[in-house]
């Protein structure tokens, strides 16, 4: 699943105008992108704090707080994008962060 084109579809609030997407070359880059969104949100909320830390439950709360979040992953065998839901993203995020922590 390493180099699979990944599109993250996101809606940050109930307002449909907040719908957006982010395009990545891999699932790993997409997980980093979601973490980056959360980290930017934390810096926005806490502008005076230099070193902000968080754990996986904080990240899950951020993900669950979004009005919508899903992923489209390109499957080379069928030459099409397959959809994945918020729960799948959280599971992949856990695997991704665990792999980063062990390296």
R_g (Cα) of the chain, nearest Å: 14
Position 80 scores a pLDDT of: 96
Structural domains of the chain sorted by starting position, each given as residue range(s) with its CATH number in brackets: 6-102 (3.30.2260.10)
Beta bridge partners of 71: 8, 84
Q: How far is CA 99 from CA 4, 15, 27, 43, 102, in A?
A: 18, 35, 13, 25, 5
- Which tokens sit at 39? 């980290």
Among residues 65, 72, 94, the alpha carbon closest in space to that of 23 is found at 72
* Residue pLDDT tens, the chain, 103 long: 568 999 999 999 999 999 999 999 999 999 999 999 999 999 999 999 888 889 999 999 999 999 999 999 999 999 999 999 999 999 999 999 999 888 8
Position 52 scores a pLDDT of: 87
Position 20 scores a pLDDT of: 97
Tell me phi and psi for residue 89, to 5 degrees: -60, -45
């Amino acid at each position: 699943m390493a180099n699979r084109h990944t599109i993250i579809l996101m809606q940050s609030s109930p307002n449909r105008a907040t719908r957006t997407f982010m395009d990545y070359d891999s699932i790993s880059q997409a997980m980093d992108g979601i973490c980056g969104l959360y980290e930017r949100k934390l810096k926005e909320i806490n502008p005076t704090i230099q070193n902000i830390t968080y754990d996986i439950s904080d990240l899950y709360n951020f993900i669950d707080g979004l009005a919508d979040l899903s992923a489209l992953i390109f499957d080379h065998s069928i030459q099409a994008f397959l959809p994945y839901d918020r729960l799948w993203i959280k599971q992949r995020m856990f695997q991704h962060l665990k792999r980063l922590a062990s390296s």
